[in-house]
Amino acid sequence: MSVGIYILICLVYVSVLITGISDYEDIGHPHLDVCSLPLPVIERAKSPLLRGAALKKKILSSPENTTLNTTSEAERKSQRYYQACMNEQKIEELQGQPLLDIINKLGGWNITKPWDKENFQEVLQSVTAHYRTSPFLSIYISTDSKNSNSNVIQVDQSGLGLPSRDYYLNTTTNEKVGGA
């Protein structure tokens, strides 16, 4: 697993613990953690992540939100994205064509047509610049774990697709993002 998955699992675990600590008095039989400190039994409904997900689903799928009646561009984009994901008929109709369009826009794929390996670096730059993410897989060179005198090409799943912390703290070019 990649480091990103471990971080996500850790964040979920911490949020569940924090939620449960506030409800400590309601515990009938606490569990013990590795430090022998009592940990509460937490109900699913008390998890902030589950409550937040349920609230988002309720807001995005409510009938009044189908009109995109908001002044916030971020809310409109969220609603459009959610509605596009929920439109199963359109998804079935289009099948993989939107993805193929993006692949062709980026220079093609050697499985679907002849591929120009000379412009691969430009394709990687384009994906990073226009889509703010690594291409579907992270590719990097590191030391071979079995032979420290040689290097290997590592292929790993991409992360969450979110820019680094510095992107959000850059007040000169991203003031709106940082203030949100």
pLDDT digits (tens, 9 = 90+) for 124-168: 788 777 776 666 667 778 888 888 888 888 877 766 555 666 666
What confidence score (pLDDT) does residue 131 get? 72
Question: Tell me: the pLDDT tens digits for 60-100?
Answer: 666 655 556 667 788 778 778 777 888 888 888 988 888 88
- Contact (Cβ atoms closer than 8 angstroms) between residue 31 and residue 41: yes
Per mean pLDDT, which range of 2-11, 30-39, 83-92, 94-103 is the poorest?
Answer: 30-39
Of 74, 34, 78, 37, give the one whose Cα is nearest residue 55: 78
Contacts of 160 (CB under 8 A, 6+ apart): 4, 8
> What does the radius of gyration of the chain's CA atoms come to, in whole angstroms?
23
Confidence tier at 28 by pLDDT (50, 70, 90): very low
d(CA 136, CA 13): 27
Higher pLDDT, 173 or 121: 121
Of 27, 30, 47, give the one whose Cα is nearest residue 39: 30
DSSP code at position 84: H
Q: What angle do CA 107, 113, 115 make, to 5 degrees?
A: 50
